[in-house]
Structure 1
Amino acid sequence: MSNLRPTLPTAPSFRPHPLRNLPRRVSPALVLASALLLAACGSAKHDTDNPDWAQSGMPPPPKTTQSDAEWQESAAPPPPAFDQNSLVPIEMPPYMTLKFGIDPKTITITPDGIVRYVVVASSKAGGTVNAFYDGVRCKTGEMKSYARYSGNAWELAKAPEWKRITDLNSRYTWAIATQGLCRDSAPRSTASEIVQYIRNPVREVQ
């Protein structure tokens, strides 16, 4: 008779399977479904229906369409003369050392959706005066500076380009666009309406 005792089976211990022990073969259908999901996420649009920039604090992301790809800016006329005594002040934060204003007579709205204007910057204490001949395209939230006035003369910008307002350190352009120039993704109807909103800017909803 054998003296060997039967050995009781021990309970298997639980160990998380390392990644290397996962099956190497994956269902082709699962791969295809994952790829389609990632593609859908990557191509998701972030367009929003924003009734007014000032309500959300951010301009709506641009909506790219076929017409945008074919869009060409109309030729900008030379910088218009401005009257420093007729400026409509732009509401700016109190910490700003400069004050800004727009000459209403320089505001133009083009058929291709650009608002061009002259904005004047001057020290609150008086003295040096600088002016900028700028354009804003409300549909894309972009601006372009065509010329700068300094030393009693205009200096045209060399190869000016459209740039996102949010990418620029230009607080006054942001203020002008949100306070009066743009409604939704389009310019206001008339120059007089723009002036009205600049005089009485829309406050953010608290």
Structure 2
Amino acid sequence: MIMRKPLKFLALGMAFYVSSALAQSSDTDPDWHESEVPAPPSFSIDHLIPIEMPHYVSLKFGVDPATLAIAPDGIVRYVMVTQNTSGSVTAMYEGIRCATGQVKTYARTSSGGAWSLVKDPQWHNLSDNLPSKHAIMLARQGVCDGRGAAASTVQDIIKALKR
């Protein structure tokens, strides 16, 4: 049983990379536009769903399920919360576009906990060498269905993340 989880993540990862590559090369909707982005939602650290990260990552990552939303344009938006070993908490308001395998950060919390909007947020490939791999791990663990699409419902995402 110990071997199943790594194999499951390897299989999910391979499927996600293949589907993302295909989606990026054949994004069939050149007229796609991102819908208006809602203001960063309030969040709570009391009911975070942990995101499994590689063993070398010392930060703890969790998504607040109350902030998960699937927009009509296919973007899954959420608040990702990080905690370091001393207990400091920061958060990011982000969106994942499964159809193209991309992530965008809209806002971050400041040291006082207030949201600070990102100036001119840009889409980045989930596989880019970003400071953290939390977005790709979130996509793999339940936001994206492995076929280049967002999960059908927020409840499906929450169920997958809790597995």
> For the superposition of Structure 1 and Structure 2, which TM-score range results when normalised by the shorter chain?
0.7 to 0.9
What's the offset of the Cα at 1:80? 0.2
What's the offset of the Cα at 1:180? 0.6
> In structure 2, what is the equivalent of residue 178 of structure 1?
140
Q: Return the match for 1:64 from 2, 13, 27.
A: 27
> In structure 1, what is the equivalent of residue 162 of structure 2?
199
Q: Return the match for 1:135 from 95, 98, 104.
A: 95
Check whether the contact 1:129–1:150 (CA below 8 A) recurs between aligned residues: no
How many equivalent residue pairs? 146
CA distance in 2, matches of 1:166, 1:53: 14
Counting aligned pairs with the same residue, the percent is 42
What's the offset of the Cα at 1:177? 0.5
What's the offset of the Cα at 1:115? 0.1
> In structure 1, what is the equivalent of residue 5 of structure 2?
none
1:193 is matched by which residue type in structure 2? Answer: D
Could you state the TM-score of these two structures normalised by the residue count of structure 1?
A: 0.67
Q: Return the match for 1:190 from 142, 148, 153.
A: 153
Unaligned runs of 5+ in 1: 1-51, 201-206
Q: Deviations over 1:143-165 (max 9, x none)?
A: 10000012211100000011111
Unaligned runs of 5+ in 2: 1-10
Segments of 4+ in structure 1 off by > 6 A?
none
SS of aligned partner of 1:174: helix
- Cα RMSD of the aligned pairs, angstroms, is 1.5
SS of aligned partner of 2:155: helix
CA distance in 1, matches of 2:66, 2:16: 28
Could you state the TM-score of these two structures normalised by the residue count of structure 2?
A: 0.84
CA distance in 2, matches of 1:111, 1:172: 24
Check whether the contact 1:148–1:154 (CA below 8 A) recurs between aligned residues: yes
CA distance in 2, matches of 1:153, 1:161: 21
